[in-house]
Structure 1
């Protein structure tokens, strides 16, 4: 069943257990016609300020909210922006926060959608957009979409698309530069045997982070060793087995760069289970800087990508498109930066 969370116009006055108020209930309580209620709710001319105030007061008391579908049929606009995510996990949650803040004064509400019945297949975003566009949302933000183009009539902006830059306007972080910085930092600490726990091979961000790792090794004159590379798929549960494989090697790495924080946390948990100290026996660095990274013990050294800013930037681009403006840039890449914490240190002699 689809998961839908909507921030729409409603009040806390209504009893949640009572039947939903209708426009006829409002008209009867205010002593006016249904047409007058419609004019008051939609801010139209033709009624006095006193009547408008009385109707809106009843609207608050009864908790009445007009149907988005009915409104869109009348005006062809819903004033709602949709955000499509495959999963509600830390990365997408931080993006949602950024979108929400950016839309506060925009006049648009936010609807977050995850098509759980179909998201395991490529192109699920297209099918979801066809269901939502026109009647529920005016435009959409897609997070790590599997498609690089859409044929919907509504404006769409993509965050961190699978294939990189697309026909759609896109926003992404500098995955290559962040990975380069992470690996160089480990090299500066004195590490030479550095493992890599990669992300999802189908995501461009994952391939760029591995490319940055390899480039840093090459720049330092360290030969790339495929035996030190594993795939963690960006999730904590799927990262544990490959992390255990790395840390159980006879000649294990003295440091591991994980392609995201969830994978890095999995490495730290596995190290504890194996009786290894972090960073004494193995240094660990992640990528993202999710809230949990700074709350761990020890706190996680990581590459910070501006997740909230990704969301806010995408929201700003989409609102501009909805207003009929031309974007100064169709593709935006935001910088990343190293956050030094307690899970990294020099290798033991």
Structure 2
């Protein structure tokens, strides 16, 4: 007990003896056993984070770093598991988090309901879980970026610049027909309807058909949109490349809106006007919600609020790929 008190700065040991003990600990390379000390404190202050894929997109990598930084500032530690091989690998990480006695787990992004269903049993053994996305199949708190509102903002910006004929390029095939989800494509459809703008099926080009469908449209002689929303900045980059190859200038002939504010948005020509999100604000919302519930559970307080679905609002980043035109 004397050694423990000295190393932890507690009372009961003279300063001279405590100093000698600390010096000796440094000399022999003593490292405290975090797991053993957590048993004494009856808590680990460990948070598990399980991602389905490697965060290769800079925004996601920065988000994970911001979450870790905020947890560290609150004297919590983060352990990360990346499970690209699917539910089996994911479950192994969740089992590991339980073995470490993590006080909470942050999961996702997954993208499909069946993946969340597979998590339900494992997460029941963890004191608190929070997700990067919202799905009714897994009724846990979530903090996600508001992609639906982001695409609405993109359409509104084009409308405010005088555009009335607006297409959508690079739409993932799996979102078609899922009107109940707050997807980017549904945000596009919703805002077009609210502004009483015509939705032309030929101007909605999927990710799979991509270049071929766009080239066919440009060569068809049919009316063309004056502006495009795109699913993300990578799709916007591909769109601009094809338009350039076909002799169309951006934003001279057509305007292009990106989404995500990836690094490439400021590197291509013209630089992309795009939709982004405040990564620090998003991380702060995640950590605040997580720590609030960790403390609630530790204090054995019953939850009275319903499951929380917190949305981080979008930001418009204006650059040079959108031009103002006169209203027809």
Q: TM-score, normalised by structure 1?
A: 0.71
User: What SS does structure 1 have at the residue aligned with 2:183?
Assistant: helix
Higher mean C-alpha displacement, 84-93 vs 62-71: 62-71
Which structure shows the higher helix fraction?
2
Deviation string 1:261-311 (CA, Å, 9 cap, x unpaired) is 333334334445555432223322122234443454432211222333222
Choose the corresponding residue for 1:77, options 43, 48, 57.
43
* Superposition pairs of residues 28-67 of structure 1, within 5 angstroms: 40-41=6-7, 47-56=13-22, 64-67=30-33
The one of 128, 132, 152 equivalent to 2:93 is 128
Q: After alignment, is 56-65 or 281-290 more displaced?
A: 56-65
SS at match of 1:315: helix
SS at match of 1:201: helix
Aligned residues: 303
1:194 paired residue among 133, 149, 167: 167
Q: For 1:139, which of 84, 90, 104 is the aligned residue?
A: 104
Q: 1:181-236 CA deviation, whole Å, 9 max, x = no partner? A: 2112223332404123224737999752211111222233333233322344xxxx
**Equivalent of residue 337 in structure 1, options 295, 315, 324:** 315
Determine whether 1:112 maps to 2:80: yes
RMSD of aligned Cα (Å)? 3.6
Question: What whole-Å deviation, never above 9, does each CA across 1:150-193 have from its counterpart, x for those lacking one?
Answer: 312231111224x2684111112322222112112223332404
Alignment of 1:230-249 (within 5 A): 230-232=205-207, 242-248=209-215, 249=217
Match of 1:217 among 170, 174, 192: 192
In the alignment, the residues of structure 2 paired with residue 273 and residue 37 of structure 1 have an alpha-carbon distance, to the nearest angstrom, of 74
Q: Distance in 2 between matches of 1:57 and 1:242?
A: 68
Preserved CA contact (<8 Å) 1:159 1:310: no
**1:256, distance to aligned residue in structure 2 (A):** 2.1
Aligned to 2:300: none
Unmatched tracts of structure 1, length 5 or more: 1-34, 233-240
Give unmatched runs, 5+ long, in structure 2. Answer: 298-302
User: Normalising to structure 2: TM-score of the pair?
Assistant: 0.75
Distance 1:69 1:245, change over 3 A: farther
- Match for residue 203 of structure 2? 228
